[in-house]
C-alpha cells in the first residue's frame, strides 16, 4: 500500500511540475521569448553555415548506410531537417557542418540564450536547485554496482554528483563554462577539482578507470555518438556499466507531434530508437543492453497542449489561462496514468529511454544484472 501511495505521489509531482509555467504569467512570457529567440538563433546559424558552404550531407553515422529518407522538415521553423536510416532506424540531423564547427553552439551556450533561460527558470521556481531526497536512477545503479568510481559525462550544474558522492568516488565532465562553474561551486571540497572541461580531458588517464559512466540527456547532442560510446567502453573497467538517457524517436510523442515535438531542435542531432541504440552499443563493444521507455510528463502534456493550442511552440510554452489549467489538470492526470500503463505493457512507448549496458568481464554477471532491474520494477 505504501509503495502504491508513493507512486501516486510521484505521478502527482510530475504533473504539477509539468504545469508550473501555467501558474506564472512572467515565466510564460519568458518561455515564449526564449523559444522564439532560440528558433531565430537556429535559423541564423544554418544560414551562416550555408553561406560559408559548411553544410554537408552525411551517411548514417551509426551504420554508414546511404539508405535514408527525410522524416522531419523544420527548415522554415528553425532550419533543421532530420533523416531516418532504413537499415538501423537511426534519426539524425542532416545536413550539418563539421563537429568542431558545430560544437561552437555549446561553447557559447546558444549565444547566451541557454544561461538566460536557465536563470529565469530558477528565479520563477520551475527548476529547483536544491538536492532532492533521492535519485531513483542512483538506486538502480547501486543495485548493479554498490561502490566504485563514477563519471557523470555531461554533468551540468552537478546536482546528481552531489548526491552520488555519498555512494561513489565521483568525476564530472561538461562543455559549458556556466554549468561547470556552478558544479565546482556546489562541490567545493577537493572533489570540485574533479569537475573537468571537455577540452581539458587527458583521455589516456581515463582508460579502464570507471565502474559507472552516467550520461543523461547528452547522447542526442553528439554528431558521432558511436565514437563516444567507444570512448565510454574504453574508460570502463571490465564489468563496468554505462547508463544513458535520451529522447526516444520510436515514442508515441515523436510520431504524434511530428514537427512540433520538443525532441527535434538545434542541439538534438542524434535521435535513437530501441533498435538503433542497441546497434550502436553493440558496435561500440557492449555485450549486455537493457532498454526501458519512460512515459514522463512530456508525452501527456504535449499531447493535450497541442490539441488545445494551435500556436503550440514547445512544452515550456503553455496556454496561460487558469480556467484551462483547472480543466486540463484532472484530464492530464488520467492521461499520464493511462500512458504510463500502456508504456509498461509495451503498447505505447514513452518519450524518453533509459539504457543500461555492461562491458564484458571474465566472470558471469548477467544474472545479477537482470535481478537488480526486476527488483526495481517490483518496487
In the structure, what pLDDT confidence band is assigned to residue 374 with cuts at 50, 70 and 90?
A: very low
C-alpha cell at 213: 559512466
Predicted pLDDT of residue 365: 43
Predicted pLDDT of residue 70: 96
Among 102-106, 298-302, 356-360, the minimum mean pLDDT is found in: 298-302
Q: In this model, does residue 368 exceed pLDDT 80? A: no
Q: How high does pLDDT run on average in the chain?
A: 81
Give the strand pairing for 169-174 and 195-197. Answer: parallel
Q: In this model, does residue 354 exceed pLDDT 90? A: yes
| Mutual angle of helices 2-18 and 297-308, in 10-degree steps | 40
Predicted pLDDT of residue 13: 46
* Range picked from 16-30, 67-81, 128-142 for highest mean pLDDT: 67-81
Q: What angle do CA 244, 250, 255 make, to 5 degrees?
A: 135
| pLDDT tens-digit map of 61-89 | 999 999 999 999 988 888 999 999 999 99
Where do the domains of the chain lie?
A: 2-130+217-378
Cβ 232 vs Cβ 351: under 8 Å: no
In the structure, what pLDDT confidence band is assigned to residue 121 with cuts at 50, 70 and 90?
A: confident
- Residue 179 or 46, more confident: 46
The pLDDT > 90 percentage for the chain reads 46
* Range picked from 168-177, 227-236, 334-343, 350-359 for highest mean pLDDT: 227-236
Could you please report the per-residue DSSP string of 207-250? Answer: TT-EEEEEEES-GGG-SSHHHHHHHHHHHEEEEEEEEEEEEBTT
Q: How far apart are CA 263 and CA 249, in angstroms?
A: 8
- Mean pLDDT over 327-351 rounds to 72
Cβ 242 vs Cβ 236: under 8 Å: yes
Q: In this model, does residue 363 exceed pLDDT 80? A: no
pTM of the model: 0.82
Phi-psi region of 94 (alpha: psi -120 to 50; beta: other; left: phi over 0): beta
Closest of 354, 346, 350 to residue 373, by C-alpha: 354
Q: In this model, does residue 333 exceed pLDDT 90? A: no
Predicted pLDDT of residue 21: 42
Q: In this model, does residue 367 exceed pLDDT 90? A: no
Among 1-5, 197-201, 213-217, the minimum mean pLDDT is found in: 1-5
In the structure, what pLDDT confidence band is assigned to residue 15 with cuts at 50, 70 and 90?
A: very low
Q: In this model, does residue 152 exceed pLDDT 60? A: yes
Beta bridge partners of 354: 245, 292
Predicted pLDDT of residue 282: 95
C-alpha cell at 161: 554528483
- Residue 91 or 17, more confident: 91
In the structure, what pLDDT confidence band is assigned to residue 223 with cuts at 50, 70 and 90?
A: very high
* Range picked from 12-16, 78-82, 296-300, 329-333 for highest mean pLDDT: 78-82
| pLDDT tens-digit map of 235-287 | 999 999 999 999 999 987 788 777 777 678 888 999 999 999 999 999 999 98
Q: How far apart are CA 231 and CA 155, in angstroms?
A: 17
Predicted pLDDT of residue 71: 94
Q: How far apart are CA 172 and CA 275, in angstroms?
A: 29
Amino acid at each position: 500500500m505504501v509503495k502504491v501511495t508513493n507512486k501516486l505521489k510521484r505521478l502527482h509531482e510530475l504533473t504539477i511540475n509539468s504545469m508550473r509555467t501555467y501558474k506564472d504569467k512572467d515565466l510564460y512570457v519568458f518561455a515564449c521569448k526564449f523559444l522564439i529567440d532560440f528558433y531565430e538563433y537556429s535559423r541564423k546559424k544554418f544560414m551562416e553555415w550555408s553561406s560559408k558552404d559548411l553544410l554537408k550531407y552525411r551517411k548514417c553515422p551509426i551504420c554508414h548506410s546511404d539508405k535514408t529518407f527525410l522524416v522531419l522538415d523544420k527548415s522554415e521553423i528553425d532550419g533543421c531537417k532530420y533523416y531516418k536510416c532504413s537499415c538501423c532506424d537511426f534519426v539524425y540531423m542532416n545536413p550539418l557542418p563539421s563537429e568542431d564547427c558545430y560544437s561552437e553552439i555549446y561553447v557559447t551556450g546558444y549565444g547566451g540564450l541557454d544561461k538566460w533561460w536557465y536563470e529565469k527558470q530558477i528565479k520563477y521556481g520551475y527548476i529547483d536547485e536544491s538536492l532532492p531526497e533521492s535519485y531513483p536512477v542512483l538506486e538502480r545503479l547501486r543495485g548493479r554496482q554498490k561502490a566504485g568510481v563514477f563519471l557523470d559525462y555531461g554533468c551540468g550544474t552537478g546536482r546528481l554528483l552531489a548526491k552520488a558522492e555519498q555512494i561513489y568516488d565521483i568525476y564530472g565532465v561538461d562543455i559549458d563554462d556556466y554549468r561547470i562553474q556552478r558544479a565546482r561551486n556546489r562541490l567545493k571540497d577537493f572533489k570540485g577539482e574533479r569537475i573537468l572541461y571537455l577540452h581539458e580531458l587527458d583521455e589516456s588517464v581515463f582508460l579502464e578507470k570507471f565502474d559507472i559512466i552516467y550520461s543523461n540527456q547528452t547522447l542526442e547532442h553528439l554528431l558521432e555518438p558511436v565514437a563516444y560510446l567507444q570512448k565510454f567502453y574504453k574508460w570502463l573497467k571490465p564489468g563496468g556499466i554505462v547508463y544513458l538517457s535520451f529522447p526516444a524517436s520510436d515514442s508515441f510523442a515523436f510520431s504524434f507531434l511530428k514537427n512540433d515535438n520538443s525532441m527535434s531542435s538545434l542541439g538534438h542531432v542524434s535521435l535513437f530508437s530501441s533498435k538503433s541504440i542497441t546497434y550502436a552499443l553493440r558496435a561500440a563493444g557492449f555485450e549486455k543492453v537493457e532498454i526501458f521507455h519512460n512515459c514522463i510528463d512530456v508525452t501527456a502534456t504535449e499531447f493535450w497542449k497541442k490539441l488545445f493550442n494551435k500556436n503550440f511552440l514547445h512544452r515550456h510554452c503553455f496556454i496561460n489561462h487558469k480556467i484551462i489549467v483547472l480543466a486540463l489538470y484532472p484530464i492530464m492526470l488520467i492521461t499520464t496514468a493511462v500512458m504510463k500503463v500502456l508504456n509498461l505493457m509495451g503498447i505505447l512507448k514513452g518519450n524518453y529511454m533509459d539504457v543500461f549496458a555492461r562491458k564484458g568481464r571474465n566472470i558471469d554477471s548477467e544474472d545479477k544484472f537482470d535481478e537488480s532491474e526486476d527488483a526495481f520494477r517490483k518496487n
